[in-house]
Amino acid sequence: MDSDLLDLDGKALLAAVTEAERASRLAEVAKLELLSAWAALHSADPTEGPDGHLARRVGNVLRQVGGEGTPGVQDFCLGEIALARGAGVTATQNMLADVLDLEHRLPLTWQVARRGECEVWVARKVAKMSRHLPADKVHVVDTAVSRLIASEGIGRLLEVAEAKVIEADPDLHETRCEAERRRRYIGLGRTDEHGLRTLIARVEAGDAVAVDAIVHRVAEILEPLNADASPDELRALAFGWLARPVELLTLLLEHTGAGDESELDLDLDAPGAEQEPEDTGAGLVRALAFPADLLDALRGIDLTPLAPKVVLHVHLHEAALHGADGVARVEGLGPVSLARLDEMLRGCVVKVQPVKDLSDRVRYTAYEHPESLRDQVHLVTGGDYWPWATSTSRRVDLDHPVPYDHGNPETGREPPPGQTGSHNSGPLGRRHHRWKTHAGYASRQCGDGRYVWLTPHGLAFIVDHTGTHPIHPEKARMIIDAPMGVDLYVA
């Protein structure tokens, strides 16, 4: 360690960290620009001219390693530059494809990266995600990503990029989806020495969610009779029940009520449990062994109550509801086209929840956040409000940016403005929540989905729907120290 660093105080070290990070990003940009210059030096077509026939015969032709609209590069030049980098040819070619895409197809995003304002690897990932798009469509991705890449968390930024790739060319996306659908499969591994096998499946996202939901429900039923089993073991046992549809149907029918703990003899390891039943013509119970009379009976049963109940949170732009092409964001699944959303919901009983007015200011006199408030805060913020946080999950803590004030029970006065409500609530991941509570961070909500942060060493940020932006520490301190009950706005 450089001994001079030990002489720096906390604020100086933080400033040095910021500068080192920017220098690292600029160094990555410099490496990309050197590759681009090498490609430009070798962009002439070697098959033209008097020795063109020889170049063509030995394979030194122009190759378009980037997306549509990027210049070609001589095939033979890739080996030498790879050696100079001390890297493989494939990695070098991928890196060259990324920089050519950024320069020629994503120029706005490239400008942000060249200023050292974003992680270069994220810009490269966006280039790879959008490489298949036609040159006249990729600007949709570039415009959206360039506005967010310097201020938004990486996970959220990549989700926006994925959605914009779909939006840029919906027909091409559907074609690619159909091609991927033909690659669905289920594979079995070899049986190991313990009598276990691995099953791998690549299926529709909606089918995967449905299977996961039914496995979860069966695991809940099996849990009382397998007290020593881990959660993973319970799910594996539950998955096995999918191969025995009649027994599965019986199990679910006898546990239709939530929390039903009626006992069944589910000891499949008991003597004789694995023996095939006698062929009596009506008593078959194993997989696919459906007697005709049982099938006739099942056809007359309403199995709707047996379907697992799930809540699907779908975010749509208003234009999509009026027939315009659009992309839906499904929480937990990511962006999907409207056609895929329709396919996912086909055959389901859909109950649309009432529309919420997110501008309503809601207050509660208790410390706890009720579910209705949690839902509203999540819809407004979109996830963790820590600066540059990536989580968009609902499974986070609900924090009071200004600590909750219980009031004075001795005087019986009403709780003060520092209470629970949409004006003083923000989602935080458990680690971020712990830091905010115990590590000297201060925050203040200053509008719907807008939060100001001040770190222990005086770094200040505002987090809102546009991402994370540094602000002057004095401005942050003024906002954080303002009296409760004062409506705040940060320009």
HEC profile for the chain? CCHHHHHCCHHHHHHHHHHHHHHHHHHHHHHHHHHHHHHHHCCCCCCCCCCHHHHHHHCCCEECCCCCCCCCEECCHHHHHHHHHCCCHHHHHHHHHHHHHHHHCCHHHHHHHHCCCCCHHHHHHHHHHCCCCCCCCCHHHHHHHHHHCCCCCHHHHHHHHHHHHHHHCHHHHHHHHHHHHCCCEEEECCCCCCCCCCEEEECCHHHHHHHHHHHHHHHHHHHHHCCCCCHHHHHHHHHHHCCCHHHHHHHHHCCCCCCCCCCCCCCCCCCCCCCCCCCCCCCCCCCCCCCHHHHHHHHCCCCHHHCCCCCCCEECCHHHHHCCCCEEEECCCEEEEHHHHHHHHCCCCCCCCCCCCCCCCCEECCCCCCHHHHHHHHHHHCCCCCCCCCCCCCCCEEECCCCCCCCCCCCCCCCCCCCEECCCCEEECHHHHHHHHHCCCEEEECCCCCEEEECCCCCEEEEECCEEEECCHHHHHHHHCCCCCCCCCCC
Asked if residue 290 belongs to a domain, the reply is: yes
Could you tell me if 305 and 255 are in contact, meaning their C-beta atoms sit under 8 angstroms apart? no
Given this model, what pLDDT does residue 73 score?
A: 94
Mark whether 31 and 149 lie in a shared domain.
yes
Tokens in use for 309? Answer: 């109940």
Quote the CA–CA distance of 474 and 458 in Å, as a whole number: 9
Given this model, what pLDDT does residue 265 score?
A: 40
Mark whether 146 and 69 lie in a shared domain.
yes
- Using alpha carbons only, what angle is made at residue 467 by residues 463 and 473, rounded to the nearest 5 degrees? 40
Mark whether 22 and 122 lie in a shared domain.
yes
Virtual torsion, Cα 220, 224, 226, 227, nearest 10 deg: 110
**Closest by Cα among 68, 128, 75 to 104:** 68
Which residue's structure tokens are 């559907």? 174
Asked if residue 382 belongs to a domain, the reply is: yes
Domain stop point among 258, 286, 306: 306
Mark whether 150 and 13 lie in a shared domain.
yes
Quote the CA–CA distance of 420 and 398 in Å, as a whole number: 10
Given this model, what pLDDT does residue 399 score?
A: 86
Domain stop point among 113, 143, 168: 168
Quote the CA–CA distance of 119 and 116 in Å, as a whole number: 8
Mark whether 141 and 285 lie in a shared domain.
no
Virtual torsion, Cα 465, 466, 468, 469, nearest 10 deg: -130
Q: Which domain holds residue 33?
A: 3-168
| Domains identified in the chain, total number | 3
Asked if residue 13 belongs to a domain, the reply is: yes
Mark whether 117 and 21 lie in a shared domain.
yes
Asked if residue 320 belongs to a domain, the reply is: no
Mark whether 217 and 87 lie in a shared domain.
no
Given this model, what pLDDT does residue 184 score?
A: 92
Asked if residue 314 belongs to a domain, the reply is: no
Given this model, what pLDDT does residue 236 score?
A: 94
Domain stop point among 306, 325, 354: 306
Asked if residue 456 belongs to a domain, the reply is: yes
Mark whether 217 and 152 lie in a shared domain.
no
Asked if residue 339 belongs to a domain, the reply is: no
Mark whether 154 and 220 lie in a shared domain.
no
Tokens in use for 115? Answer: 């200023």
Mark whether 256 and 137 lie in a shared domain.
no
Mark whether 11 and 139 lie in a shared domain.
yes
Question: With left for phi above 0 and alpha for psi between -120 and 50, is residue 392 left, alpha or beta?
Answer: alpha
pTM of model > 0.75: no
Residue 66: CB atoms within 10 A of its CB come to 24
- Series of mean pLDDT values for 10-residue runs along the chain (491 residues): 80 92 96 96 86 77 93 90 89 96 98 96 97 96 96 92 94 91 90 82 88 92 92 94 82 66 39 41 42 67 68 78 78 80 74 70 69 80 88 85 66 56 86 88 90 91 91 92 67 54
Mark whether 16 and 154 lie in a shared domain.
yes
Asked if residue 462 belongs to a domain, the reply is: yes
**Closest by Cα among 70, 64, 65, 62 to 135:** 70
